Amino acid sequence: MQPSCSSFKQQAAQALRDPKLQGAFGKLGDGLQARRAAAVGQLPEFEALREDARRIKRRVMSDLDTWLEQFEQKVLGQGGHIHWASTADDAREAILAICQRVGAKTVTKGKSMVTEELGLNDYLVDQGITPVETDLGEYILQLRREAPSHIVMPAVHLAQDDIERTFVESHPQLPPDRDLSTAESLVAEARQELREHFFKADVGITGANFMIAETGSTVIVTNEGNGDLTQTLARVHVVVTTIERVIPTLEDLSTFLRLLPRSATGQEATAYVTLSSGPKREGDMHGPEEFHVVVLDNGRSELLGSENQDILNCIRCGACMNHCPVYGAVGGHAYGWVYPGPLGAALTPALIGVEKSAALPNASTFCGQCVAVCPVKIPLTDIMRRWRVREHGKKMTSPLARAGLSAWAWLASRPALYRKFTGLAAWGMALCGGRRRRLSRMPLAGGWTRYRDFPAPEGETFHAQLAQLKKRAAKTGAEGLRHEQGGAHE
Amino acid sequence: MELGGKLEVGRSRRVALYVTCLVDVMRPSVGFAAIKLLEDAGCEVVVPEHQTCCGQPAYNAGGEAEAKALAKQVVETFEPFDAVVAPSGSCAGMIRDHYPKLLAAEPEWRDRATGLASRTYELTSFLVDVMGMESVEADYQGAVCYHDSCAGLRELNIKQQPRKLLRSVRGVEVREMDDAEVCCGFGGLFCVKYADISNQMVSRKMDNIEASGADTLLAGDLGCLLNMAGKLTRQGSRVKVRHVAEVLAGMTDLPAIGEGEV
Ligand code: SF4
């Protein structure tokens, strides 16, 4: 997927002008936040679980290659195949090679953000293979040729009537006047349409929420059941995932399974948790003949041992975006690549370069709500700040901004001069504010005054007023103000 | 919240007031209100002359070198005191939460910063949690709502302290607005750099403030207050905006923030 993160501001402005998007994202947070809060409230050990989860993840990352090797050995031992892919190209080629070898014409797909990272659907179409998304949201987006706007609820930016129109246009063989006015009718129609694809598909591709080193299993956590059909009905099951998804044991999985649904949707548990451990064995009723795991790096290993390593701990629950006021204002597409919200702001620069994505880590007030809810306690704002440091260090910020920053710092380290400057500024602004006591326009702060007034200062600075009080007190011979004792204020 | 180890509730002590740049320039009366409240709580208040900016704007803009230089200046200036108190959760949070991280690579400075961090407080939490203050002597006629500024709430656990003191002000009715804990869209330079998004955030805040029926909006951080006051006056709202310290100290003769002739 081609990133357009550098156009974040324009994309955000567009989203802010779109009443439909405003409706969708403005309300999104309310329900999800309340549901998460309720689910978390019912689990007194939630905080302890977050701590456990972070510990497990940090342990994995300190020794990632060992865990991955262990996972590989188990998969091979169970008759599966592993394909290591250091770049997106490698992963696409590995997937294509499997599809071509088995002569695949149709490929069904469960929900997977990693395949978005690969731009896999377009790639397969170019190679003459038809991919069919089977997750309801992803299916709708595929019909509309749109990208997901949320990592858990990909079509959350759409309203019921958008979907209705899409179905009428995309399924011309059905009577145009059929009733699609309820969510149930849409689901039923999608099911009907998808059914034949499930049986026709030669290859089923899914993602993985986790890989378990101990058992060589991949795990998907879902609500629709489409993932199970995708991976059991096709002859070949290909799991596409990334290196940081490995966890040591089944026991560890239980920790994450208690955190993930509560954080994502406020559910105690999802409808399905599916473990896949190799191809169908003798005596198995169902299952694929071949089992492949494509494990992608795509820049992640460079984070290991770096100050931003913790972003690899993400379990893709989406809570950070559900609670983010910036995401809630502009939605997911404005972020311009696969991962939106605070997760995207912290991760995207690592994957596509800060040069192409500096706008994302800057688009935060550092309100800290994402950090407060992240189930694995990723210091998202610290990571965003470090991308800003990187950006500043590479002189990618505007020369004016950099000059302003050094000038301010220079002035602030000279208190006497600083007092003169602030005194002048306070006096000047108060003068401009006049009897309205506020300014409607201000140089260099057009962004502020376009939308709000700038309240004028009182006139004299605190330090100037304090100095005068002290002088007056000295003249009248009165006792010095209590707060000036200690001689710290001259 | 972890309080500085050697502070004992109720004991009189020498406290340095960190006025903060915004209070110094924009709203000096907040500084005087803070002095009054601290003195009423039995503290000896000192205003160190060498204070300027805590470096947060540079820190958040990626200017690490500049932020470090200013952080060291603050450490040197405020080290000699029993406690440092700022009428701002954001500036206090900068010292408490971020200085030790910022100076982590220089062990001597890191230790000094960590020492200072453990003695640095936001005003209302210092009054309640450290000085054990239960109530204030003040009058204010009105229904107020309190906006929880992000750094104060999430870095310093400030939530009940200002409300507790507000309830003791004669004539005050404390109302809660919806989403009091959601960011107002200020975010330092964010509100200028991402003006459109910031405007949308502050607009949602306005709706919640108006819906609360309060006639006065209070908060503990001047950045957020200027942002919200500017939006309220632009919209022609009648809601008055003040720093919480002004009401707690009974110093509300001065017009509210941004309040003047139409
Ligand atoms: S960063 Fe944390 S909150 Fe956000 S998606 Fe990842 S795990 Fe969830």
Q: Which tens digits make up the pLDDT trace of B70-105?
A: 999 999 999 999 999 999 999 999 999 999 999 999
Which residues from chain A sit within 8 angstroms of residue B105, using beta carbons?
none
* pLDDT at residue A481, as a whole number: 52
Inter-chain residue contact A325 with B183, CB threshold 8 Å: yes
3-state secondary structure of A271: coil
Cα nearest neighbour of A10 on chain B: B196
> Of B129, B162, B190, which residue constitutes the final position of a domain?
B129
A318 lines ligand 1 (CB under 6 A): yes
B233, A438 Cβ separation under 8 angstroms: yes
Which are the contacts of A181, defined by CB distance < 8 A and separation ≥ 6?
A: A160, A164
In angstroms, the CA B106 to CA A11 distance is 41
Q: Which of B113, B117, B49 is nearest to A486 (CA)?
A: B49
Question: pTM of the full predicted structure?
Answer: 0.95
pLDDT for residue B2 is more than 50: no
> What are B55's two structure tokens?
């470096």
Which residues from chain A sit within 8 angstroms of residue B26, using beta carbons?
426, 455, 457-458
Mean pLDDT of B161-186: 97
3-state secondary structure of A159: coil
Inter-chain residue contact A418 with B155, CB threshold 8 Å: no
3-state secondary structure of A109: strand
Q: Which of A330, A391, A457 sits opposite B25 (nearest CB)?
A: A457
Cα nearest neighbour of B232 on chain A: A452
> What are A219's two structure tokens?
């795990």
B109 shares its domain with B149 = no
pLDDT for residue B5 is more than 60: no
Which residue, chain included where needed, has tokens 């975006």? A321
A326–B contact, CB cutoff 8 A: yes
DSSP-assigned beta bridge partners for residue B142: B172
Q: Which of A108, A72, A56 is nearest to A295 (CA)?
A: A72
pLDDT for residue B119 is more than 90: yes
Ligand 1 midpoint to CA A312 (Å)? 10
Interface probe, candidates B183, B186, B261, chain A, greatest A C-beta count within 10 A: B183
List Cα–Cα distances, A419 to A325, A412, A415, B25, B222, in angstroms: 36, 9, 6, 10, 19
* pLDDT at residue B3, as a whole number: 38
B22 shares its domain with B121 = yes
Does residue B260 fall inside a structural domain? no
Which residues from chain B sit within 8 angstroms of residue A434, using beta carbons?
260
pLDDT for residue B4 is more than 50: no
* pLDDT at residue B1, as a whole number: 32
Nearest CA to ligand 1 atom 7: A314
A227, A181 Cβ separation under 8 angstroms: no
Cα nearest neighbour of B31 on chain A: A462
Reported CATH class of domain A60-298: alpha beta
List Cα–Cα distances, A190 to A176, A409, B56, in angstroms: 15, 60, 52
Q: Which of A405, A462, A490 sits opposite B23 (nearest CB)?
A: A462
Which residues from chain B sit within 8 angstroms of residue A385, using beta carbons?
59-60, 62
Which residue, chain included where needed, has tokens 């490698």? A90
Q: Which of A406, A437, A457 sits opposite B260 (nearest CB)?
A: A437
Positive or negative CA dihedral for A397, A403, A404, A409? positive
Count of H-run helices and E-run strands, chain A: 23, 12
In angstroms, the CA A422 to CA A410 distance is 14
DSSP string, A304-357: TTSTTGGGGG-----HHHHT-HHHHHH-SGGG-SS--HHHHHHHHHHHH-HHHH
Mean pLDDT of B146-158: 97
In angstroms, the CA A311 to CA A216 distance is 24
Containing structural domain, residue B46: 14-129
A233–B contact, CB cutoff 8 A: no
Positive or negative CA dihedral for A132, A138, A143, A147? negative
Does residue B111 fall inside a structural domain? yes
Which residue, chain included where needed, has tokens 């804990």? B181
B141 shares its domain with B109 = no
> Of B129, B146, B178, which residue constitutes the final position of a domain?
B129
In angstroms, the CA A431 to CA A429 distance is 5
Inter-helix orientation angle A462-475/B28-40, to 10°? 60
* pLDDT at residue A474, as a whole number: 85
Does residue B8 fall inside a structural domain? no
B97 shares its domain with B110 = yes
Cα nearest neighbour of A8 on chain B: B194
Q: Give the CATH number, domain containing residue B225.
A: 3.40.50
Number of domains present in the structure of chain B: 2
Inter-chain residue contact A462 with B182, CB threshold 8 Å: no
Inter-chain residue contact B192 with A409, CB threshold 8 Å: no
In angstroms, the CA A401 to CA A421 distance is 19
- Domain ranges in chain A? 1-42+314-397, 60-298, 404-459
Q: What one-character DSSP code corresponds to residue A42?
A: T
Q: Which of A348, A483, A356 is nearest to B44 (CA)?
A: A483
Atom of ligand 1 nearest to the CA of A264: 8
Cα nearest neighbour of A444 on chain B: B192
Q: Which of A218, A170, A430 is nearest to B26 (CA)?
A: A430
> Of B129, B160, B185, which residue constitutes the final position of a domain?
B129
Atom of ligand 1 nearest to the CA of A373: 3
3-state secondary structure of B120: strand
B248, B165 Cβ separation under 8 angstroms: yes
DSSP string, B11-46: ---EEEE---HHHHHH-HHHHHHHHHHHHHTTPEEE
In angstroms, the CA A456 to CA A36 distance is 42
In angstroms, the CA B170 to CA B173 distance is 9
Which are the contacts of A243, defined by CB distance < 8 A and separation ≥ 6?
A: A64, A68, A295, A296, A297, A300, A301
A315 lines ligand 1 (CB under 6 A): yes
Side-chain half-sphere of A26: how many Cα atoms within 13 Å? Answer: 16
A110 lines ligand 1 (CB under 6 A): no
Residue A106: Cβ-neighbour burial (10 angstroms; 0-12, 13-18, 19+): buried
A80 lines ligand 1 (CB under 6 A): no
Q: Which of B28, B32, B187 sits opposite A366 (nearest CB)?
A: B187
A324 lines ligand 1 (CB under 6 A): no
A317 lines ligand 1 (CB under 6 A): yes
Q: Which of B28, B48, B181 sits opposite A460 (nearest CB)?
A: B28
In angstroms, the CA B179 to CA A326 distance is 15
Mutate to test the pocket of ligand 1, among A221, A320, A371 (most ligand atoms within 8 A of CB): A320
A264 lines ligand 1 (CB under 6 A): no
Mutate to test the pocket of ligand 1, among A263, A265, A324, A383 (most ligand atoms within 8 A of CB): A263
Tell me what percent of chain A is helix, strand and coil, each rounded to the nearest 5. 55, 10, 35
Left (φ > 0), alpha (ψ -120 to 50) or beta: where does A79 sit? left
* pLDDT at residue A1, as a whole number: 77
Mean pLDDT of B21-36: 97
Mutate to test the pocket of ligand 1, among A150, A260, A347, A374 (most ligand atoms within 8 A of CB): A374
Of residues A29 and B259, more confidence is placed in B259
In angstroms, the CA A135 to CA A204 distance is 12
Q: Which of A287, A150, A155 is nearest to A232 (CA)?
A: A287
In angstroms, the CA A280 to CA A292 distance is 12
Cα nearest neighbour of B189 on chain A: A365
Inter-chain residue contact A462 with B19, CB threshold 8 Å: yes
3-state secondary structure of A418: helix
Q: Which of B26, B47, B192 sits opposite A448 (nearest CB)?
A: B192
Mean of the per-residue pLDDT values of chain B: 94
Inter-chain residue contact A438 with B191, CB threshold 8 Å: no
Does residue B231 fall inside a structural domain? yes
Atom of ligand 1 nearest to the CA of A346: 1
3-state secondary structure of A466: helix
Which residues from chain A sit within 8 angstroms of residue B198, using beta carbons?
365, 447, 451
Mutate to test the pocket of ligand 1, among A260, A314, A370, A371 (most ligand atoms within 8 A of CB): A314
Interface probe, candidates B13, B154, B194, B201, chain A, greatest A C-beta count within 10 A: B194
B139 shares its domain with B104 = no
In angstroms, the CA A472 to CA A467 distance is 9
A405, B63 Cβ separation under 8 angstroms: yes
In angstroms, the CA A163 to CA A144 distance is 9
Which are the contacts of B187, defined by CB distance < 8 A and separation ≥ 6?
A: A364, A365, A366, A367, B194, B198
Interface probe, candidates A383, A385, A451, A466, chain B, greatest B C-beta count within 10 A: A451
Question: What averages of pLDDT result for each successive group of 10 residues across chain A (490 residues)?
Answer: 93 96 88 95 97 98 98 98 98 98 96 97 97 96 97 95 95 92 92 92 97 98 90 94 98 98 95 94 90 98 97 98 97 98 98 96 98 98 97 91 92 95 94 92 86 94 95 74 43
What is the separation, in whole angstroms, between the first and last Cα of chain A? 62
Which residue, chain included where needed, has tokens 């306070």? A426
B36 shares its domain with B111 = yes
3-state secondary structure of A218: strand
Ligand 1 midpoint to CA B99 (Å)? 26
